[in-house]
Chain A
């Protein structure tokens, strides 16, 4: 049972950054701008979010009571910094009509370099890791539950935040082992994203700009404005997603998000540029990633006795192999926004 709880909670925790960032990519691409800079935006968001957490920890000494408020502030700060970074992409690709893939790639190269420099500036030469304060995780204590008090009928067990001792209580494992405020925020942001895209006039206009900007312009929609909005939203979600990833990874920020920005792009394509499919795709992907990691402790997974190499390398490859197979099977139905990647030109018919 505790393995199941671990798998579920780990899946959620890995799905969250994918979901957020893929949603961000979706907003940008549906407005017509290919956002390959998601990786860079995530790095910038994670960097600034972690620096904020560090500052809150050192300077303000955010206590256990205000801990989640601190995480909220850091998350919003990460989002705002993501927006600031995405301005570069928006300006280059919308106003200057630069090639969007090249612009995005440039930002992806800029971000990790900038992150290393800033980390050193803040922490001193050679200090490449920004540690995340212990209090950023949601634990029983967040709800004022003390050791020994009851949680759904079973006593609360102390959980050491650093070693993550395995508990045998299903619910506590599910809720308190690796839960962060970003998980809850992701649910809210996802719902808001769906509503924004499908239920508002903003969403309708945004999608029109990504499909047929000339048609949008002919009914008086400002294509430049909508595309700016699309890219900035992706900046916010990318920044938040970056911090969510770093929190989930647990070992602090090391100027990298391990290619999750690109994975999110794959999730977005796999999810066909549609929010609900993106949700499914990110959970699916995270699940296989977690199964890959936990394979040795799941009883029904074949262990290939004597062929350790197979299970060591095969299972971590699972999510990528399965995604490739599924992309092949579903590619016929996949349909990118028609005008994405093409700078808007009034004169074109």
Chain B
């Protein structure tokens, strides 16, 4: 038997206008975690889609256990025991967990579903691997981490031996990432082989055995993780040295730009408030970071701040103007820029072209319109300027639809648009989510450049590394309240973690609160 369970030899895949994979070779050993590393748009997802049968390669062969196989659709892949967790989950929201798992491989008698049988198998699998799910819960009601478990169970249910994870950690909290790593290790102990697509170097160092690096569609090399370093991997990936530390000059904060007083936002999900009596200030020339675990009111606070949603109490002042009830465009005119958390929902119109997206907040300005008609020549010129300045890569330049661009380049486009407004206050919500190290470095540089130019920056982040390195001040949010304020130079990650988890509170005795809670329960 061949040493390699899957070999992809000299794969070339061409899309209109772009060579997504150019002569790439990838060999996966039995029982290993093999990382596939590359920047956004390097061709990782395309290569995996070829292996999974969603695309057919123009050139090259795929071998399973040393024999050439042809994979023309996901059914072929499934027959070869290849399974995949897609970056964008392939789950039917209104179906139950169980229905999603069995879809396409339904146990049936004469076409009639045999769900009892399926349920038994799913429950057994979820117990065996510690993947707790409620088989009857609807997908739309469960968390993203839980949805990923469903995707993993889908593979296990089909007895897949080769598991492809396409950027599985991009949507997870730090705790969920640790759990996932543990689950991956358990799989390899059983002889399953894992292909792990990512651009997070820490995760590769923690869990992978070997790593293949791609850059701009080309094969760069395969290395043993034992004999390499983070620095070397990132050099292979980006093609140059990458700085992990964020360089900042010391700076004296100036006048107050943003003043938030007693802001309370009601929750859409429960009767409790999502944001409770939050007050703080952001000054010119400083980066303030709102840190916390996902779902502690940061999103709702930003919605209220940027005007996407209403608040029930409090007052927000921007440069001395009360903006609490102001329209979004007026806030933007006053100097607020917003890099939204959900770039598909609030950042871009996905089916518009890149150039239309770049003038989304400015098309009404005299520069871009005359008597209600868009001056398309000006729009094109402006878009080309921003694209060149920010290195936004896409298939067809300004006329590319935003939907067809990679996540990293979509984000670059949003950041370019927002920063080009020359805002007084930049609200950046998880600006590096799903980006690779090269792109993260450039985003951080841009945030610091804003600060150095004397602008105020409010950063909302879940990534501890980012929280520790970028801001001048950290505010920790827990259950809708600010529970602590820190100088990143004087606080440890562990200390911060305790506040994020609600174990400590600077302004209140946490013990008393716990008792109060118990009292309520009784």
Binding site for B on A (CB under 8 A): 199-202, 204-205, 207-208, 211-212, 214-221, 335, 338, 346-349
Residue of B nearest to A219 (CB): B104
With a cutoff of 8 Å between Cβ atoms, the chain A residues found around residue B91 in the complex are 212, 215
Whether A348 touches B403, Cβ cut-off 8 Å, given contacts A201-B113, A219-B90, is yes
Contacts of B86 in A (CB 8 A): 218
**How many A-B contacts are there with CB distance less than 8 Å?**
75
**Closest chain A residue to B53 by CB distance?**
A220
Within residues 41 to 99 of chain B, which ones have a CB less than 8 A from any CB in chain A?
Answer: 52, 54, 73-75, 78, 84, 86, 88-95, 99
Q: Which residues of A contact B105 (CB under 8 A)?
A: 219
Task: Write the nearest CB–CB distance from A242 to chain B, whole angstroms.
Answer: 28
Q: Is the CB of B92 within 8 A of A208?
A: yes
Decide: A212 and B106 in contact? CB cutoff 8 A.
no
- Determine if B74 and A204 form an interchain contact, defined as CB atoms under 8 angstroms apart: no
The residues of A that contact B94 with a CB separation of less than 8 Å are 207, 211, 335, 338
Partner of A220, one of B92, B99, B104: B104
- Per the bound structure, the CA–CA distance linking A216 and B112 in Å amounts to 18
Give chain B's interface residue range (CB within 8 Å of chain A).
20 to 34
Determine how close the nearest CB of chain A comes to the CB of B103; give it in whole angstroms.
5
Interchain CB contact under 8 A, A349 and B95? no
Partner of A207, one of B89, B95, B104: B95
Residues of chain B whose beta carbon lies under 8 Å from any beta carbon of chain A: 52, 54, 73-75, 78, 84, 86, 88-95, 99-100, 102-106, 108, 111-113, 154, 403-404
- Inter-chain contacts of A216 with B (CB < 8 A): 92, 103-104
Summarize B's interface: helix, strand, loop or mixed.
loop
Contact call B73/A204, Cβ cutoff below 8 A:
no
Q: How far is the CA of A34 from the CA of B94 in the complex (A)?
A: 19
Residue numbers in A under 8 Å from B52 (CB-CB): 218
B103, A221: Cβ atoms under 8 Å? yes
Question: When the two chains form the complex, which single residue of A201, A208, A220 contacts B95, counting CB atoms closer than 8 Å?
Answer: A208
Residue of A nearest to B79 (CB): A220
Check B92 against A207 for contact (C-beta < 8 Å): yes
**Among all A-B residue pairs, the 10 with the closest Cβ atoms:** A219-B104, A220-B75, A215-B90, A201-B106, A218-B90, A220-B74, A211-B92, A200-B111, A201-B108, A212-B92
State how many angstroms separate the Cβ of A273 from the closest Cβ of chain B. 10
Q: Tell whether, in the assembled complex, residue B54 and residue A346 are in contact, meaning their CB atoms are under 8 Å apart.
A: yes
Q: A200-B111, A201-B111, A204-B99 are in contact. List 6 more A-B contacts (CB 8 A).
A: A201-B108, A201-B113, A208-B103, A218-B74, A218-B84, A221-B104
Identify A349's interface contact among B75, B88, B102, B113, CB under 8 A.
B88
Q: Is the CB of A219 within 8 A of B103?
A: yes
Taking CB as reference atom, which chain A residue is nearest B76?
A220
Give CA–CA (A346, B99) in the complex, Å. Answer: 22
Distance in angstroms between the alpha carbons of A290 and B103 in the assembled complex: 43
Alpha-carbon distance between A205 and B92 when the two chains are bound, in angstroms: 10
Q: Can you report 10 residue pairs joining A to B where beta carbons are below 8 Å apart?
A: A201-B112, A202-B111, A207-B92, A207-B94, A208-B95, A211-B94, A218-B84, A219-B154, A338-B94, A347-B404
